[in-house]
Structure 1
Amino acid sequence: MPPQDHPAWLRAERRALGDRIRERRMWRDLTQEKLAERAGVSRDTVQRIERGTNDPRYSDLARIARALDTPLAQLVG
Structure 2
Amino acid sequence: MCRVPTRRTPRPAWVVDECRALGHRIASVRVAAQMSQDDLAERAGVERRSIQRYESGRRDPRYADLLLIAYALDVQVEDLVRPEPRPASTGDGGRPGR
Q: TM-score, normalised by structure 1?
A: 0.91
Structure 1 regions of 5+ residues with no counterpart?
A: none
Higher RCO (C-alpha 8 Å, min separation 6): 1
Q: CA RMSD in A?
A: 1.3
Counterpart residue identity of residue 6, structure 1: R
Shift of 1:55: 2.0
1:57 to 25, 39, 62: 62
Q: Distance in 2 between matches of 1:18 and 1:60?
A: 13
Question: Percent of counterpart pairs with the same letter?
Answer: 49
Q: TM-score, normalised by structure 2?
A: 0.73
Shift of 1:8: 1.2
Q: Which has the larger radius of gyration?
A: 2
1:1-77 → structure 2 map (5 Å cutoff): 1=7, 5-77=10-82
Shift of 1:22: 0.5
Q: What is the total number of aligned residue pairs between the two structures?
A: 75
Structure 2 regions of 5+ residues with no counterpart?
A: 1-6, 83-98
